[in-house]
Chains A and B, each alone.
Chain A
C-alpha cells in the first residue's frame, strides 16, 4: 500500500499501564494514531490486544499514563466521556446487537437518544448505510434472524451512524464461520478506501497485510514491532514476531502438504 502523507495525530496513547490485580496486561505502552491511518494490531492471544482497544474506549480504567483523543484525555469517569465515546466507534468480537430491537432501531438508538437527531433523518442515514453493506432489506428484521456475518455488518453500520472519527475493530471475524468472514472484511476494506481512521485487532494475516498502513505487534503488554506490513510480514525485526508469524506459516504448510504427495 502506498505510503500516506500523515495528517495530524488523532489518538495519542502515552505510557499507559493496565493491570488486573497483580497481572500486568499493558506495560508502558505508547502509540500515536494519525488521521486516516489504518493500524492493524496482531499478537498471540492474551497479549493485551483487546484490552488495548477496551482502554481506548474507556471500558477499562488504566493505572498509569494517558490516552488523548483530539488532545482530550479519555477516562471512564471523565465528565465528557460520552462525547468522547461518540467519536470512537467500536465493533466487538461477539455479536453485540441489542436483541430486543430491530436492525433499524439498533442503528438509530444512539443517534436519536445521544445525539438527539430527528427520527426521519437518522433512519434515512441508517437505511443508506445498510444499503451500502447490502442489508437494506433486513432493516425490519431482528438480530436473531440474521447470520453472524450479517450481524457484524449491522454492528459496523451502527458504529458508523454515530459519525465516529475513528473505528475500533476487536477480532470482528473471530466468531464467524469461514464463509462469512469475507463479507465482513470486504466492508472494512471499503471503509479503508474511504480514508477512515481504524485500529483493527485481527488474526486474519492476509487481510492485515492488505489493509494495514502500519502493523503493531504486541506481546507481553508491549509493542515489539511497529512497521509497515511489507516489512512486518517479510522481514520482522524481532524473534518473537518471527515465531508468531511462523505459526501461521506452519499452518499453511500443513494445509498444502497432501497436495504435494
Chain B
C-alpha cells in the first residue's frame, strides 16, 4: 500500500494553492507594513528623537514579548469593542505588521548602530550634509549589515502567518486542519502542508544565503 494517496493529493491541490496564495498575500502585505514601522522606529531611535524614541522602545518591548496569537486576538476581538470595525484580513495584516515591526526595527537599528561614529564625522568634515552623510556613507553600510537579520525576519514572519487560522483566515494551516477534520486524510494533508510552506520559504532562504555570501565577499571592515 502506498503511503500517500496521490489521487487525494491531486484533488486537494487547488485548495492548497488558493490557501498558499492567501498566505503569501497577507504575509507580504504584513511584512511591507512591518518594514515601514521598523524603519520609522529605527530612525527615531538612531537619531534619539525625544518622546518618539521612548514610544518606539515601549512598542518594541510589547511587540516582542507577546505571542502573535495574543496580538491577533487583541486586534480581532478588542478593536470592535472600542468601536473600530474590523475584518479578519485587516486583522491578519495588522497583527503581522505589529509583530514584525519590532523585529524589523531591531534589524535596521543594529545595522545603523554598527557603523562607527567616525564614519559620520569624517563625512561631515568633508562638507557633506547630514542627509548626504546618511545617504552615501551610513545607509549603504548599514543596509548590508541588516540584510541577514532582515531575511531571517521575513522567513520568521511568513511562518508566523500559520496562526492566522485562529481568526478564521483560510490560509494553509486553516485549510489543512479543515480538510483533516472533514475527510481524515491526515497524511496527505500534512504532506501538502509541509510542501507548500517549503515552496514559499525555501526560495527566500536560498536567495538570502546567496545575498549574504555576496555581502561577505564584499567584506567591508578595516
Interface residues of A (CB under 8 A from B): 54, 57, 59, 82-83, 85-86, 88-90, 92, 94-100, 109-110, 113-115, 143-144, 155, 158-159, 162
B128 adjacent to A59 (CB under 8 Å): no
4 closest A-B pairs by CB: A96-B122, A86-B127, A110-B126, A99-B220
B121 adjacent to A110 (CB under 8 Å): no
Total of A-B residue pairs, C-beta within 8 Å: 73
Residues of A within 8 A of B144 (CB): 100
Docked pose: A205 CA to B60 CA in angstroms: 53
Known: A99-B220, A99-B221. A90 touches B118 (CB 8 A): no
Chain-A contact segment, one of B37-45, B62-70, B134-142, B180-188: B134-142
Docked pose: A7 CA to B116 CA in angstroms: 39
Q: Is the interface of A mostly helix, strand, loop or mixed?
A: mixed
B128 adjacent to A110 (CB under 8 Å): yes
B124 adjacent to A59 (CB under 8 Å): yes
Docked pose: A113 CA to B132 CA in angstroms: 8
Residues of B within 8 A of A100 (CB): 140-141, 144, 218, 220
Known: A113-B132, A162-B126. A92 touches B118 (CB 8 A): yes
By size class, the interface of chain B is: 20 to 34
A82 adjacent to B221 (CB under 8 Å): no
Docked pose: A86 CA to B126 CA in angstroms: 6
B125 adjacent to A88 (CB under 8 Å): yes
Docked pose: A49 CA to B137 CA in angstroms: 27
Residues of A within 8 A of B141 (CB): 98-100
Chain B residue nearest to A151 in the complex (CB): B222
B86 CB-CB contact with A under 8 Å = no
7 intermolecular pairs with C-beta atoms under 8 Å apart = A90-B122, A92-B121, A94-B116, A95-B222, A110-B128, A113-B136, A144-B220
